[in-house]
Amino acid sequence: MKKIIYVILIIAAVGLAVTLLGNRASQDTVLAEEINSFLENGETQIDLTGVTNFNWTQVSVFGPYTTDETIEDSMGIKFKGDNGEIDILDDRFLLVFADEKYAVKTVVLSMQHGTYTIKNNKVLIVEQ
């Protein structure tokens, strides 16, 4: 009887962990460094389909003080994960990659290069 209770508790704990930790967007610091390298070399348009190595269907960029709820409403997804503290800091932009339902990766972009927009759901445009 005790074994059955332990098995049930373990299954419940694993289920809870998957629910809480599943579908969380992680911050991609390697991609951030790659984009920053392009920007430092004077690039003003970066094709994001050529620099990403993960699956995504949409991408958006958000400015300072954007809340997770605003990201969700704007992209029509559920946003859980690393928002790069964009909701409380004014020195950064956040690039959010998502699939049909969830954010999959985020990238923090510095304001030192200018402001950012997305063109055709694939090209990052930087304007000074």
* pLDDT at residue 19, rounded to an integer: 47
pLDDT band at 13 (very low <50, low <70, confident <90, very high): low
* pLDDT at residue 23, rounded to an integer: 58
82-91 tens-digit pLDDT: 999 999 999 9
Alpha helices in 22-113 (DSSP H): 29-40, 48-51, 68-75
User: 64, 43, 53, 27: which is closest to 123 by C-alpha?
Assistant: 43
44-66 tens-digit pLDDT: 999 999 999 999 999 999 999 99
* Domain limits, the chain: 24-127
The answer to pTM > 0.85 is no
User: 80, 77, 113, 95: which is closest to 28 by C-alpha?
Assistant: 95
Residues 104-128 have a mean pLDDT of: 95
* pLDDT at residue 9, rounded to an integer: 62
